């Protein structure tokens, strides 16, 4: 799905180089350059909601929103990019949208000439790669700012990337940049609906400030709500595996060098000695409390920590802030609010509906 030379699987010096090139563009002062874009895409999505209640599939709505945000950041462009992103989203959903599709995608692979399901997947992938590559080059020549432009210009340690490697990175950034963020947006709105007093308190906080949520220090309750959502329902349930370089003892058990260890984010976030009542949504856990990286790590950790974690947090706060300010949302079927696997991510069940109407 993301290509053989994807930065998601890069190791050693190549991995270091990718982080050095892309990392600065997704943290620190660079984040402020995305505020207007995020606000614009979110406001457009909210504007389409009528004054009368509109019932939406929450996970699908959040996924489309997150994809169009990251698509503008990665590829650039305006409306011209939207149709490509819509087709990209449909292609991903065709492989991961249900458990049956995901199993077929993983196990029913054969010659690309076969009609179902591998042949169409390969054909659409090739078409999307061509379109995204062409759009990225077009946006560079038009002067648009984008992550793809950073990679195309080649004025960095990576050098000039061949088109095959470049489009692998575009596909990787699109996939990694929207699936997990969309899951976080959907879960946060779901938990707010399930906690009306908290939703009311959050609306009061937002009404008392002009902050758009981009800086968590301006809206501490909003930031705490988003972090608690990432704790109780982390989009990624496990972090990248580690290989022990030498013998050691871990939790009283001796493990030899070469042992593979996979940190489980979900289990770490549900330890009752650290988070009493771990299945209870409680934003107070993150108000005036700074959690250590061994207690709270929704974006992984170490050298493999998600490159876009700061951008994802800012986007999550801004979208939730805009929704709470502008939309009344009510979930009519909360019992459907159970996790559903989508490839490497764990999202909100796709049958969860949200009745939305603008204030």
Per-residue pLDDT of the chain (359 residues), as tens digits, is 899 999 998 888 999 999 999 999 999 999 999 999 999 999 999 999 887 889 999 999 999 999 999 999 999 877 668 899 999 999 999 988 888 888 888 887 766 555 567 788 889 999 999 999 999 988 887 777 799 999 998 888 898 999 999 999 999 999 999 999 999 999 999 999 999 999 999 999 999 999 999 999 999 999 999 999 999 999 999 988 888 999 988 888 999 999 998 889 999 999 999 999 999 999 999 998 889 998 999 999 888 889 999 999 999 999 999 999 999 999 999 999 999 988 778 899 999 999 999 88
In a domain, 1, yes or no: no
- CATH code assigned at 210: 1.10.630.10
Do you find a cis peptide bond into 358, omega within 30 degrees of 0? Answer: no
In a domain, 138, yes or no: yes
Predicted confidence at residue 79, as pLDDT, reads 63
Domain that includes residue 36, residue range? 7-358
Render pLDDT for 168-200 as a digit per residue (tens, 0 to 9).
999 999 999 999 999 999 999 999 999 999 999
How many separate domains does the chain show? 1
In a domain, 2, yes or no: no
Predicted confidence at residue 144, as pLDDT, reads 72
Closest by CA position to 349, among listed 98, 72, 26, 45:
98
In a domain, 247, yes or no: yes
Render pLDDT for 241-292 as a digit per residue (tens, 0 to 9).
888 999 988 888 999 999 998 889 999 999 999 999 999 999 999 998 889 9
Instruction: Look up the pTM and report it.
Output: 0.94
In a domain, 72, yes or no: yes
In a domain, 25, yes or no: yes
């Amino acid at each position: 799905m993301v290509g053989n030379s994807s930065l998601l699987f890069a190791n050693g010096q190549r991995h270091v180089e990718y982080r050095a090139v892309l990392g600065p563009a997704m943290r620190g002062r660079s984040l402020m350059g995305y505020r207007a874009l995020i606000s614009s895409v979110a406001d457009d999505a909210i504007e389409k909601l009528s004054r009368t209640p509109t019932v939406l599939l929450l996970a699908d709505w959040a996924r489309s929103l997150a994809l169009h945000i990251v698509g503008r950041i990665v590829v650039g462009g305006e409306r011209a990019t939207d149709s490509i992103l819509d087709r990209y989203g449909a292609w991903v959903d065709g492989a991961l949208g249900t458990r049956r599709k995901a199993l077929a995608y993983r196990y029913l692979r054969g010659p690309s000439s076969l009609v179902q399901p591998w042949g169409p997947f390969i054909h659409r992938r090739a078409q999307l790669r061509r379109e995204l590559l062409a759009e990225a080059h077009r946006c560079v020549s038009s002067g648009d700012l984008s992550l793809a432009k950073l990679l195309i210009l080649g004025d960095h340690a990576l050098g000039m990337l061949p088109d095959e490697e470049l489009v692998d990175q575009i596909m990787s950034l699109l996939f990694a940049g929207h699936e997990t963020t969309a899951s976080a947006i959907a879960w946060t709105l779901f938990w707010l609906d399930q906690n009306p007093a908290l939703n009311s308190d959050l609306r009061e906080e937002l009404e008392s400030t002009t902050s758009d949520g981009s800086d968590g220090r301006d809206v501490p309750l909003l930031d705490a709500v988003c972090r608690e959502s990432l704790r109780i329902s982390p989009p990624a349930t496990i972090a990248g595996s580690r290989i022990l370089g030498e013998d050691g003892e871990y939790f009283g058990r001796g493990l030899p060098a070469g042992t593979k260890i996979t940190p489980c984010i979900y289990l770490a976030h549900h330890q009752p000695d650290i988070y009493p009542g771990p299945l209870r949504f409680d934003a107070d856990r993150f108000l005036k409390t700074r959690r250590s990286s061994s207690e709270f790590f929704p974006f992984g950790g170490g050298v493999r920590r998600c490159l876009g974690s700061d951008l994802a947090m800012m986007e999550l706060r801004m979208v939730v802030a805009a929704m709470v300010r502008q939309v009344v949302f009510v979930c009519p079927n909360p019992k459907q609010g159970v996790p559903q696997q989508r490839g490497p991510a764990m999202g909100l069940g796709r049958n969860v509906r949200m009745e939305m109407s603008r204030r």
